[in-house]
């Protein structure tokens, strides 16, 4: 009889999250046989969460297009011609009405995104009114508004903001292939201001931008060694948009394999075991079976609605049918 294969040791049951991951350890998780990796991730998921529950979040673009950043994946960048028409910041009353509709549709968290390099103090009162109005509806509040100062983070917290999203996008080694108008340290500094203000962080990245597996491991290594793991960890699959450098690159070279996406979700669950791991952008193009594998591998949050900023989502009917067929329910539902 052949000797059993020796894998890297699994974490003990209910072990507290680690912050001392090495990049080599994260790479070793990616290299596990698929079934072993998913098994470990599913086991870890069950240690901290009910595996039949999924958090439902909805995201609204409150200010679209015209962004000064040159993120190579983004249709909202002013550097690229993607045919997207820029719009001004929405009125608070309109945002609150959309939040009420999202709540009526089953959303538990409402996220507000603005295509800005950074939040300007002149826009802070209107944004604060949006946040406080959405919070009054009984929804969790989240915003992604670009870079923040320490004082702005405190003001957003005072307005009732629960979560602030600021993704790292990728590992530091590949970062300059994605964006050059903002440094990696700029992103880390904003996350620090958010934590210091007492808000929860929402931070993840995008995969399928032409990066290597080591780059994906490096992203999760960065997240796993933060002073506090992200409370929410979105894993986005690049939606290749014509006119963007990375979108055109991926269309020419091919999109990321679905099983590699599941591996990324599973490693995210293992490295940040108490985080809400969200399947975010790209879900509309995923098969039901691929989404089910993601849930098995530890994902427990999705964006719902018809659209995610400027890219499509499956929609309420398809999501409800999938959850029913998988025997899953909205988090906290009876």
List, by residue number, the catalytic residues.
67, 71, 74, 111, 142, 202, 278
Report the C-alpha gap between 67 and 310 in whole angstroms.
13
- Two structure tokens written together for 220: 């999760």
Tell me the three-class secondary structure of 188-249, residue by residue. HHHHHHHHHCCCEEECCEEECCCCCHHHHHHHHHHHHCCCCCCCEEEEEECCCCCCCHHHHH
- Cβ proximity of 248 and 80 under 8 Å: no
Residue from 258, 272, 180 nearest 221 by CA:
272
- Cβ proximity of 238 and 73 under 8 Å: yes
Query: Quick one: which H or E segment has residue 271?
Result: helix 258-271
Q: What angle do CA 57, 275, 46 make, to 5 degrees?
A: 100
- Two structure tokens written together for 53: 């529950």
Beta strands 307-308 and 311-312, pairing class:
antiparallel
């Amino acid at each position: 009889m052949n000797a059993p294969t020796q894998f890297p040791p699994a974490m003990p049951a209910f072990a507290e999250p680690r912050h001392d991951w090495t990049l080599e350890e994260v790479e070793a998780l990616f290299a596990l046989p698929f079934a072993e990796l998913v098994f470990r991730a599913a086991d870890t998921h069950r240690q901290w969460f009910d595996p039949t529950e999924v958090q439902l979040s909805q995201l609204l673009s409150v200010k679209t297009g015209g962004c000064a950043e040159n993120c190579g994946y983004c249709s909202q960048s002013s550097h690229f011609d993607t045919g997207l028409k820029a719009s001004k910041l929405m009125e608070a009353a309109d945002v609150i009405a959309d939040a009420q509709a999202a709540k009526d549709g089953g959303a538990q968290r409402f996220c507000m995104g603005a295509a800005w390099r950074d939040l300007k103090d002149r826009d802070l009162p209107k944004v604060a009114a949006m946040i406080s109005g959405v919070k009054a509806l009984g929804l969790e509040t989240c915003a992604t508004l670009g870079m923040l100062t320490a004082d702005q983070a405190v003001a957003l917290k005072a307005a009732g903001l629960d979560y602030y999203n600021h993704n790292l996008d990728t590992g530091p080694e590949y970062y300059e292939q994605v964006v050059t108008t903002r440094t990696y340290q700029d992103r880390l500094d904003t996350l620090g201001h958010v934590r210091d203000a007492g808000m929860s962080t929402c931070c993840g990245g995008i995969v399928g931008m032409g990066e290597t597996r080591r780059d994906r491991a490096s992203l999760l290594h960065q997240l796993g060694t933060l002073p506090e793991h992200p409370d929410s960890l979105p894993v986005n699959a690049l939606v290749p948009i014509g006119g963007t450098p990375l979108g055109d690159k991926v269309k020419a070279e091919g999109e990321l394999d679905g099983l590699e996406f599941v591996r990324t979700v599973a490693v995210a669950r293992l490295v940040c075991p108490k985080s809400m791991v969200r399947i975010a952008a790209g879900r509309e193009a995923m098969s039901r079976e691929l989404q089910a594998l993601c849930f098995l591998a530890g994902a427990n949050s999705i964006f719902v609605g018809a659209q995610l900023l400027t890219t499509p989502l499956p929609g309420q009917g398809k999501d409800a049918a999938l959850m029913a067929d998988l025997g899953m329910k909205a988090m906290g539902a009876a």
